[in-house]
Chain A
C-alpha cells in the first residue's frame, strides 16, 4: 500500500493538520508521499517525497485546478490511498479526486479496524465499518482522531507539480471572524449553552452560573445559528477553541465539531438529561438532570458559599 497525504495551506501558512495525516500513515505502517499546494519556504518535516505545486500560481482555493495537480501526484507516486483531513479543504476536494480516480471515499474516518476504515454515524452515536470495493481509496480523517507518536522528522524530497488546467471559479479573498466582544480563549471558567436550553430566555440561566463561577458563558453552534448568542461566544471548530480550568456543558449533546473546540479543558462537567450523550465521553463528571431545574439550584448554592 502506498499513501498520498494531502497537506493544507491557508492564509500563507502550512496547516498543522498535516500531523494527523502522518499519524495515520504511522498507524497503517505504510509507505507514504505527500502533496501540497504551498510554497518551498514552508514545508512540513517529512521523510519522503513531497509533490509540491506553487500556491502563488494555483491559489489557495481552486478545487478544479488542485484536483488536476493532485491527480498528477497520485499517478507519479503510484498511490492507492489518498488521505485528506476532514476539513473545509479536504471534504471539498476529496470527492472530486475520488470521482476522477473511480475511487471509493470514506469520510471522517476515526479508526481503522481489520484494515477497514471506521466512520461515525448520527453525531458519533454509532460507528460504521466500511469496505471499499475499488482499487484506489480516498479517506478524509476526523481532526484529532490519529495522534503522532513522537515528533515529525526529516526533510522531504521535493518534486514540483504543474498543470495547465483552469477553472471558472474566482476566489475573492478571506473574511475574518468578527472581532470584539468577549474573548473566550482567555476565560478560566466557561459555562456553555447547547440546544438543550430549549429557548433563548434560558441563556440567562447559563449566564447566571457563569457569573457565579466568575467565568464567561459560551454556546454551541445551534444556539449561535438560532441567534440566541453572539458568534464570538461559539465554541467549536468554526468558533473558538478553548482550554479553561473548568468547562460546564449545559444541554450540549457533544457533536464532534463542539468537542474539538473544548476537549483540552482541564475539567469538564456536562449537564444533560441523556446519559448516553457523546459529551459524556469527554466529561469528568456527567450530571444527569434537567438543566432548567438543576442549573439555577446550583447557581444559588454557589452564590451562598
Chain B
C-alpha cells in the first residue's frame, strides 16, 4: 500500500499579523511557523494506517526552504519520506494551482490513499484536496472525523452541522480531507526526531510540477474595519472586576 499526506506550513494563528509589502498576503517576517492544525490529524491518520498495514508513507509540502522544519515533524511522527516542492511564491498561488502541483506529483505514483487537511488555517479555501482528487479522477470525501480501512474499502464519518455525522464508504484509491478531532495527533518522541533526521527529504523545483495557469488572483489583503460598539476595559484586575460587575448590574438581570 502506498499513501500520500499533503501538509502546509502556516503561522501560529495567535500571531500579530501585518500586511506584507506587496499588499497581497500577510507579512511573513517575525512569525512562528507550525504545521497546519488540520494536517496534523491527516498525518496522524496516515501514520496509523501505515502502522496497521505496513504501507509506505510519503509527505508532501509546498513552500520556501523553511517548510522543511514542518516536514521534519511529519517525518518524526512516522512518515517514511518527504517531498518538498520548493516554491518561494507559494503564498501567491491559488487553490487550483496548488492542487495541480499535488495532482501532477501524484499522477504516476499509484497512491491508494491521499490524506489532506480539510482546509488551511490561513487561506481557508477548503478546495485543494477535492480539486486534486477531481484532477486525478479519484473519489474524495471531505471533513472526516472518523476513519477505518477494511478489505480495500474506507469507511469514514463526515462531520455535518449541529454535531450530526454522516457515514460514507468508498473503495480505494481515494482522497480524504481531515477535520479537527479525527484522532489525537502524537507528539514526536526524541528518538523519532533523531531517526527523522536520517529520512529522505528531497526537494523538487515547483516549475517541474506546475503545468497550469492560476484561475484567480488576490487584489488586496487588509484588516477588516472594526465594527466598534463594544466597550474595552483595561487596567488593574481588581478594578476591572468591579467595573464589570457594575456593568452587569446595569445592563443585565443576571446579578439581580
A residues in contact (CB < 8 Å) with B: 10-11, 61, 63-64, 86-89, 91-92, 94-96, 98-100, 102-108, 116, 119-134, 140, 167-178, 188-189, 213-215, 221-222, 224-225, 231, 234, 237-241, 245-246, 253, 266-267, 269-270, 274-276, 280-290, 293-294, 297-298, 301-302, 305
Contacts and interface: CB of A to CB of B under 8 A. Distances in A.
For the complex of A and B, 5 pairs with smallest distance between CB atoms = A177-B163, A172-B167, A104-B215, A95-B130, A99-B134
B123 A132 contact: no
Interface in B143-161: 143, 155, 157-161
B30 interface: no
B110 interface: no
A286 B241 contact: no
Nearest to B219: A129
Interface stretch (B69-77, B82-90, B230-238): B230-238
A269 B244 contact: yes
B159 A126 contact: no
Contact of A105 (B125, B157, B165, B217): B125
Contacts of B223: 125-127
B216 interface: yes
7 contacts: A108-B124, A121-B123, A130-B219, A169-B139, A175-B165, A280-B226, A285-B230
B17 interface: yes
B204 interface: no
A249 to B, nearest CB: 12
Interface residues on B, range: 35 or more
Given A88-B143, A122-B121, A286-B233, A95 B127 contact: yes
B163 A188 contact: no
B29 interface: no
A280 B232 contact: yes
Given A121-B221, A126-B26, A127-B222, A88 B252 contact: no
Given A122-B13, A171-B166, A285-B231, A246 B252 contact: yes
A270 B229 CA distance: 13
Contact of B134 (A96, A106, A266): A96
Interface string B103-129: 000000000000000110111111100
B215 A103 contact: yes
B190 interface: no
- Chain A interface mostly: mixed
Contacts of A64: 139
Contacts of B231: 284-286
Contacts of A102: 215
B130 A127 contact: no
Given A95-B134, A274-B14, 15 more contacts: A88-B142, A92-B130, A104-B94, A106-B216, A121-B123, A121-B124, A128-B220, A130-B217, A133-B216, A188-B254, A238-B162, A246-B252, A285-B232, A285-B247, A289-B237
B232 A214 contact: no
A128 to B, nearest CB: 5
B112 to A, nearest CB: 14
Nearest to A266: B252
Contacts of B94: 104
- Chain B interface mostly: mixed
B26 A297 contact: no
Given A127-B221, A225-B180, A253-B13, A302 B171 contact: no
B22 interface: no
A131 B169 contact: no
A177 B217 contact: no
A175 B167 contact: yes
B198 interface: no
A281 B227 CA distance: 6
B189 interface: no
Contacts of A108: 124-126
Given A127-B221, A133-B217, A177-B162, A107 B143 contact: no
A88 B118 CA distance: 10
Contacts of A267: 248, 251-252
Interface in B208-228: 214-224, 226-227
A16 B224 CA distance: 27
Contacts of A91: 118-119, 126-127, 142-143
B6 to A, nearest CB: 15
Count chain A CB atoms within 10 A of each CB in B142, B162, B217 and give the residue with the most.
Answer: B162
Nearest to B251: A267
Contacts of A98: 127, 131
Contacts of A61: 158, 166, 168
Contacts of A10: 160
B63 interface: no
B245 interface: yes
B220 A284 contact: no
A133 B131 CA distance: 17
B221 A288 contact: no
B203 interface: no
B244 A285 contact: yes
Contacts of B62: none
